[in-house]
Chains A and B, each alone.
Chain A
């Protein structure tokens, strides 16, 4: 089925659990979100079937900004501990293993999060600016050499958007160079959304997910053992050293925290950069405006995050019977907070379908809504995105998108697998 933004969409035909929905063009998806937000703000959907897991009772799709904020900011009523990154309930150990503090509630969540809070604050990141800059410059220079050694083309994802956050987060964690390809490959599988290119056996995706998690956990075990012997000032050492309520973290807790940091640190910023390049190529006047005015960077970065919404949703589960804006819900009901939809809510954003790099204020929920689970890496991501685009304008001003993107078939991450581009200035 194909429909463009102008084609009418029938409310009852909408199914956000249909995998192919997430391969549609952004304009089509946003037309659907618009309709849901307007007509059925708590639309109920059956859960997607995942081989090996029991299908649950279904979920409510939250598409209005105000509802999303109401749920997000009441973590005692709408909890994360039942699972925040999976629609289907998964066994508790698996939930913790893949979710770490994302799928945890306070007080434990806050205690674990505070172990690393300091490292991700603006003050600490100031000390990282130089190294982010160095990484970006190195990656972009290498991309130009790749283009010049070949036919002038590059893949924005593989040559720019993926290596930058990978190197930044691996530096912070202290992952050895020789293990970084593994980190990239396995985190791609963890957040594949079941895309057939990344999950070969479509009848058994769980084995692939588990295998990827175990490989990352194995790497962490090895690194943790080294840090116990030879502590450094990296994040891995902080995790090994940390005590919560007088106890060090278990191996499993450390491993799942590690998986969270590397996976979230990689996939989301990569998506913001690759989709940001695409958005600028589709809005050349905005690109020209930003290139001419570096002062625009602060608002431009926020608009990219709003526009792209790298993480499409997170889940919450009601811990009690509750009412939101006149709608009644029961304990145990599941809610998917569709950040991508709330970020185009006309009640909050003037001309929400306009990509405006000067948008201010911009109360987007691209880093999550208000609440304790607000993105830990928000300041780092902003920095990486800002430096990447400033250096792109300086070093690869001749970059042109050369073909349609190859989209990840995932409801969870608004990712691109490939984005062909060419560098038009040949030396």
Chain B
């Protein structure tokens, strides 16, 4: 599983960070930083929730 982020769409709402803090972090400039692009097995369900919940639909999943 690989996570992608469209930084033009992202407004740094932090919704993903709330659901999967080990994978997502909003940077000081208000744009998302991926702490890892390939989440560990135990994180995948939270990451899926984060992708669904993203208010700007800025996140994508591969695999």
Chain B interface, >50% SS class: loop
What is the CB-to-nearest-CB distance from A49 to chain B, in angstroms, rounded to a whole number? 35
- What distance in Å separates the Cβ of B8 from its nearest Cβ neighbour in chain A? 8
Binds B, one of A19-27, A277-285, A303-311, A368-376: A368-376
B45 at the interface (CB under 8 A from A): no
Q: Contact: A370 with B56, CB < 8 Å? A: yes
Chain B 1-25 interface 0/1 with A at a Cβ cutoff of 8 Å (1 = within): 0000000110111110110010001
Given A122-B21, A123-B25, A123-B26, A117 and B55 contact (CB-CB distance below 8 Å) = no
A sample of 30 cross-chain residue pairs with beta-carbon separation below 8 angstroms, ordered by A number, consists of A73-B57, A107-B8, A110-B8, A113-B30, A114-B11, A114-B12, A114-B29, A114-B30, A115-B30, A117-B11, A117-B14, A117-B30, A118-B27, A118-B28, A120-B14, A121-B12, A121-B25, A121-B26, A123-B14, A123-B17, A123-B25, A123-B26, A370-B55, A370-B56, A371-B55, A372-B9, A372-B55, A374-B55, A376-B13, A379-B14
A-B contacts at CB below 8 angstroms, number:
63
Chain A residues with a Cβ closer than 8 Å to the other chain, count: 22
Contact B25 A371 (CB under 8 A): no
Most interface-central of A109, A115, A374 (chain B CB within 10 A): A374
Complex-state Cα separation, A425 to B15, whole angstroms: 41
Q: State whether B56 touches A118 (Cβ < 8 A).
A: no
Interface majority SS on A: helix, strand, loop or mixed?
helix
Residue among B8, B30, B31 having the largest count of chain A Cβ atoms under 10 Å? B30
Residues of A that sit less than 8 Å from B by CB: 73, 107, 109-110, 113-118, 120-123, 368, 370-372, 374, 376, 378-379
Tell me, in angstroms, the Cα distance from A368 to B15 when the chains sit together. 13
Closest A residue to B18 using CB positions:
A122
Closest to B14 in A: A121
Question: Using a CB-CB cutoff of 8 Å, which residues 16-62 of chain B contact chain A?
Answer: 17-18, 21, 25-31, 55-57
> In this complex, which of A73, A115, A121, A379 has the most chain B Cβ atoms within 10 angstroms of its Cβ?
A121
Query: With A115-B30, A123-B21 as given contacts, are A370 and B12 in contact (CB-CB < 8 Å)?
Result: no
